[in-house]
Amino acid sequence: MSNKSDFIIVGGGVVGLATAYKLQLKFPDKKITILEKEEDVGMHQTGRNSGVMHSGIYYKPGSYKAENCKDGHRQLVNFSEENNVKHDICGKIIVATCDEEIPILEGIYERGLENETKGIKFLSSEEIKEKEPFIEGVKAIWVPTAGIIDYVGLCKALVIKVKSINAKSKFIPNCEVREVIADKDNTVLKTSREDFLATKVVFCTGLQSDRVAEKDNLKLDLHIVGFRGDYYELTKEAKHKIKNLVYPVPDPKFPFLGVHFTRMIDGSIECGPNAVFTFKREGYKKTSFSVRDTYEALKFKGTWKLFSKHWRKGIDEYKRAFSKRLFVKALQKMMPSVTVDDVKVARSGVRAQAIDYSGNMVDDFKIMKHNNNIHVLNAPSPAATACLAIADEIVNVVIQ
């Protein structure tokens, strides 16, 4: 077969492209083919996240998330500096707006110490004002290693690096995998373009990861459910109210970090996102709907168990999704001066969240090997920050 490669990476998001890069570094003479169903890189989770480089302060010490975020952050900064990817280590504050949030804030600080998050310190109300004059809080944590980055630009740089190491390697857009035929020696991928063959295939397909795994006859104990996050943006007249990154104290029962303020790499200030169940995995409008996506999500018992546990939170999020006034009210907890006129509707994204049969959100990264193929089944935040470290993990699985 003319379309034979040593490795195929399915998925042109940041985890897939980081994996292609690390595999090419490890095996510079091997041909790597990257297949992406969209017309360009980073068109789903990668290009629609908050654009933040996370410090690792939140995550359970010793977890994949904690270890890979710390290592990944270091690698990401180095790669960006060496390859002219736009980024800025601007720091962020995590703000407690009332005394009831202080114990949770202090728990985050303790986790940060255990995770060796550099330079963290508490801020008083007055010190918060020095960092962010329009933010009101009773106590905060200053996290100097957090930053912002152009993740789509990172993806493009990774493709360039792969091709520069081996001219035979290629990136093929508009190429959707429709069938996976694997034996003990090779895997054939039947796609929307043509057939491809490789000794080993790595699937990094995000919102479609469970479906693609099932095409490879992998038996799963989880299901991917999409959560849409809507963003607002501060108007030109109001953007001076935020200097860098401002986060609330998160609800410890959820893997989402709450509605926050983020200075983007282009200088705009985003507010959000919320987190609501979406009726379409790749649906970026409030009215987006897919019969298949909705049916599959709602027939999965774990989805209903999740809803039953957190229905109040879910209703609150939905109200906020359809009410600008309620969204702004959430922002006013940290910035009382922000008004409805200060924000305008911006973009949205959908997060792929793996849920198990008990209705639990799978909190950590999940990578499974099946025959010669590797499936990245769950790569929640901070996967973008940790992409190069996750890629190292995947390479280790590939060579086992």
pLDDT computed for residue 1 by the predictor? 60
Across 71-85, 186-200, 300-314, least confident range: 300-314
Give the rounded percent of residues in the chain with a pLDDT score beyond 70: 98
pLDDT computed for residue 315 by the predictor? 85
pTM of the model: 0.95
pLDDT computed for residue 293 by the predictor? 97
pLDDT computed for residue 184 by the predictor? 83
pLDDT digits (tens, 9 = 90+) for 98-133: 999 999 999 999 999 999 999 999 999 999 999 999
Q: Which residue has the tokens 């792969």?
A: 162
Cβ(394)–Cβ(20) below 8 Å: no
pLDDT computed for residue 260 by the predictor? 93
Say if residue 273 is preceded by a cis peptide, omega within 30 of 0: yes
Distance, CA of 361 to CA of 250 (rounded, Å): 16
pLDDT computed for residue 51 by the predictor? 95
- Banded pLDDT at 288 (limits 50, 70, 90): very high
Q: Which of 173, 174, 177, 175 is closest to 216 using CA atoms?
A: 177
User: Pseudo-torsion of CA 175, 176, 181, 185, nearest 10°?
Assistant: 40
Distance of CA 203 to the CA centre of its chain: 16
3-state secondary structure of 216: coil
Residue 253 has pLDDT above 90, yes or no: no
| Mean pLDDT confidence for 82-101 | 97
> For residue 274, what are the CA distances in angstroms to 87, 173, 323, 328?
24, 31, 12, 11
Distance of CA 338 to the CA centre of its chain: 27
314's tokens = 């879910």
For residue 268, what are the contacts with CB-CB under 8 A and spacing of at least 6?
Answer: 233, 234, 239
| Residue 185 CB neighbour total at 10 angstroms | 8
Which domains are seen in the chain, by residue range? 4-47+152-221+363-398 (3.50.50.60)
Cβ(297)–Cβ(223) below 8 Å: yes
Q: Sheet containing 87-88: which strands, arranged edge to edge?
A: 52-53, 147-149, 87-88
Pairing of strands 170-172, 87-88: unpaired
Q: Which of 163, 328, 342 is closest to 241 using CA atoms?
A: 342
102-111: Cβ within 8 A, 24+ apart: 102/138, 102/139, 104/249, 104/250, 104/252, 105/139, 105/140, 105/141, 105/249, 107/252, 108/57, 108/58, 108/141, 108/249, 109/57, 109/141, 111/57, 111/58, 111/59, 111/60, 111/61
N-terminal to C-terminal alpha carbon distance within the chain: 26
Is the alpha carbon torsion for 294, 300, 302, 304 positive or negative?
positive
Say if residue 252 is preceded by a cis peptide, omega within 30 of 0: no
What are the counts of helices (DSSP H) followed by strands (DSSP E) for the chain?
Answer: 11, 20
pLDDT computed for residue 392 by the predictor? 97
* β-bridge mates for residue 230, sequence order: 348
Distance, CA of 94 to CA of 206 (rounded, Å): 28
> For residue 216, what are the CA distances in angstroms to 8, 35, 67, 87?
14, 16, 29, 37
Distance, CA of 306 to CA of 314 (rounded, Å): 10
pLDDT computed for residue 235 by the predictor? 98
- Banded pLDDT at 27 (limits 50, 70, 90): very high
